Every structure is written in structure tokens, then in C-alpha cells.
Amino acid sequence: MKAPICNVCLKSDQLCSGCEEKLDEAEIDEIDIKISRILQDLSTDYGSLKDSEIKKVFDMENVVAVITAEGDGAKVVGRNGEIVKELADRIEKSIRVVEAAESDMEVIKGLLSPAEVESINTVFKPDGEHQKIVVDESYEGKINLSTDEFEKIINWVTGTDYELSFE
């Protein structure tokens, strides 16, 4: 399994100097370490985790978002969601698994599910342009992420500034 921390740190209670430096410089957070170690532990029972990659983990108010490499989302979810259910039980919080993908739209859909994206528009402001994602207002409060949380995650995954709007 590939994770935000090295293989030695995955199997240890201590962090090596390299991973400690990543933590100090905020490249990784405690939640990256915690989730990576839990998934490493679960990989003994679930072989699909052995060849999966966890890119980043975000601990939000209502949900923990696990960002995987493209094609690894299903491996982390497991058959009938069994891995994600066990992970959620261990951390006592909902889990949302999203694959990093070449297409920003795939990542956006993964984060906003079950909501449907109505449009993505380029908005020009004095401080520059950004992308505005429009979702039907009936989905507001149903995606387990606040607007700020969504924008933080989507910016990290895609490198693009998006603004989420419920209209």
C-alpha cells in the first residue's frame, strides 16, 4: 500500500525523520497518519488494499474524505463497502472515498455525490478568474461537506480554485 507516510512509519508507532518533517511542514496531518495506519492494518484481511494508494486524507466536521489514486477508490471501499464501514467504525465518523482523476469533473462528482452538477462557469472578478460550480439548492446540507470544506479539498486535488454555489 502506498500512503502519505513511508512504509516504515505505516508499521510503526513512531515517525521517521522524513515523515516527521512532512508533519512539521503541514504536508501531512495526524489524520493522514491515523487513516493510513488503519488501512495498513486492514490490508491483512483485505488484499485489495495492498496495491492501493492513499494520496491525502481530510478530516472535516461531518466526514473524513480519503483521496485515492485514480482507479483505487473501489479497492479502498471494498466489496459491498465492507472496508469503508470498518474504517468508519474505527474512527467513529463517516468516510467519503474520492479518486483523484485527470478530469476535475470526476473529482467534483465524487465529492458532491449524491448531488448533480448543474453547471460549471468561469467567473471574472477583480482579483482574477475562478470556476463556479452550481448545484441545485435542494442538495444543500446533503453532501456532508460544507462549502468551505469542499473548496479546500477540490483545490488540493485539482489545483484549481472552485467556488461552490447552491442555486
The answer on pLDDT for 14 being more than 90 is yes
For the CA atoms of the chain, what is the radius of gyration?
Answer: 17
For residue 54, what are the β-bridge partners? Answer: 68
**Mind listing the pLDDT tens digit for each residue in 101-160?**
889 999 999 899 889 999 999 999 888 888 999 999 999 888 889 999 999 999 999 998
Report the SS3 class of residue 78: coil
* pLDDT for 143: 86
Q: pTM of the full predicted structure?
A: 0.90
Boundaries of every domain in the chain = 1-100, 102-167
* Homologous superfamily of 1-100: K homology (KH) domain (3.30.300.20)
Report the SS3 class of residue 59: strand
Rounded Cα distance, 62 and 159, in Å? 24
Report the SS3 class of residue 119: strand
C-alpha atoms less than 13 angstroms from C-alpha of 50 in its C-beta half-sphere:
4
The CATH number that domain 102-167 falls under is 3.30.300.20
